[in-house]
Amino acid sequence: MMNPIAACIQMDIKFGDPEYNFSHAEEKIAEACEKGEKPDFLLLPELWTTGYDLARLDETADQEGIQAQAFISRLSQQYGVNIIAGSIAKKSQDGITNTLYAVNAAGETVHEYSKLHLFRLMDEHHYLTGGNENGLFEIDGLKSAGLICYDIRFPEWVRYHALNGAEVLFVAAEWPEPRLDHWRTLLLARAIENQCFVVACNRSGNDPKNAFAGHSMIIDPWGKVLAEGDSKEGIVQAELDLSKVSEARNRIPVFEDRLPEYYEK
């Protein structure tokens, strides 16, 4: 796949109402696939089934992620598109995790990643269990990584994925509006320093405690913004010229010039 098209489903999320959110996500996925040029990859935002209604996750979390995976599998096959299914609250015997699924166009889950860094400012640590695996996966030949919101504040975690082959970072988020400048700056930095594409999907709208920033972004390995949303719902879409990854890494050989033996002294 030379120049795949990636699209972010920037959607509002109804607080603690999975039934509505599944229906709304299906409408937005249909919109992305049926209007204009169909994308090869779709990305949903963080916690798109429940929003940040953390206190009721015991009731609303998806048992073993079964409902979300079946839903995404059906739609990926229906539209012939790879779906990076943002993240959902997954309930298992080990607790509730904030879990991202990567599902290919045949409807197969190729990877799941549970958010490593829990965001204490929004009380995640009181309700969620952190993951313990990385976000690396290959889907439709594309070497990728999944990251979730707060993860982008940890450059060493993002660099781990780039060092292990990721050419595209898929970032799912519910990033609050007051820190919009941080969102944009951090995403640009992660793209430039890792010389890779960043496809970042943030939600829009409000919940009882927060207003969310939107501004989903697709950024190339040179830090050029290829597409950016506003604060409202919408589809943010761009073509990824994958040759830009090797171009950037060859022109400025950051990875070759690393001196990791000095970094943890």
Could you report the per-residue pLDDT of 4-14, keeping only the tens digit for each? 999 999 999 99
Q: Which long-range contacts (CB under 8 A, 24 or more apart) does 244-252 make?
A: 244/197, 244/220, 245/167, 245/195, 245/196, 245/197, 245/221, 247/221, 248/195, 248/221, 248/222, 249/195, 249/221, 252/195
Active-site residue (options: 90, 91, 143, 149): 149
173 has a pLDDT exceeding 80: yes
In the residue annotation, 196 being an active-site residue is answered as no
Cα separation, 111 vs 28, in Å, equals 23
Place of tokens 């007051």: 178
| Domain boundaries defined on the chain | 5-257
Question: What is the pLDDT averaged over residues 130-137?
Answer: 97
115 is catalytic: yes
pLDDT for position 264 = 83
Q: Give the mean model confidence (pLDDT) for residues 240-250.
A: 98
Reported as a pLDDT band with limits 50, 70 and 90, residue 234 is very high
Instruction: Tell me the percentage of the chain whose pLDDT exceeds 90.
Output: 96
Instruction: State how far the Cα of 42 lies from the Cα of 86, in Å rounded to an integer.
Output: 9
- Alpha-helical regions (H) of the chain: 18-34, 57-60, 66-79, 124-127, 155-163, 180-194, 243-251
Q: Where does the pLDDT of residue 2 fall: very low under 50, low under 70, confident under 90, or very high at 90 and above?
A: confident
pLDDT at 36 over 90: no
46 is annotated as an active-site residue: yes
The encoded tokens of residue 106 equal 């045949």
Q: Where are the alpha helices (DSSP H) in 113-255?
A: 124-127, 155-163, 180-194, 243-251
Average pLDDT of the chain, as a whole number = 97
**Residue that the structure tokens 């969620």 belong to:** 128
Contacts of 50 (CB under 8 A, 6+ apart): 13, 15, 16, 17, 18, 21, 56, 57, 60, 61, 88, 89
Residue 161 pLDDT exceeds 70: yes
- Crossing angle of helices 66-79/18-34, nearest 10°? 20
What are residue 102's phi and psi, to 5 degrees? -110, 120
Backbone conformation region of residue 141, classed left if phi is above 0, alpha if psi is from -120 to 50, else beta? left
**H-state helical runs in 35-152:** 57-60, 66-79, 124-127
For residue 15, the Cα-to-chain-centroid distance in whole angstroms is 19
- pLDDT given for residue 1 in this prediction: 65
Domain 5-257 coded CATH 2.60.120.590? no
Banded pLDDT at 142 (limits 50, 70, 90): very high
In the numeric block, the tokens 């798109």 are attached to: 48
Please pick, among 14, 33, 46, 174, the residue that the annotation labels catalytic.
46
The owner of tokens 């430039």 is 192
pLDDT above 70 as % of the chain: 100
State residue 215's pLDDT score.
98
Catalytic annotation, pick one of 115, 143, 167, 244: 115
Task: With a cut of 80, say whether residue 84 has pLDDT above it.
Answer: yes
d(CA 256, CA 72): 39
Would you say the pTM of this structure is higher than 0.95?
yes
Q: For 225-235, what is the mean pLDDT?
A: 98
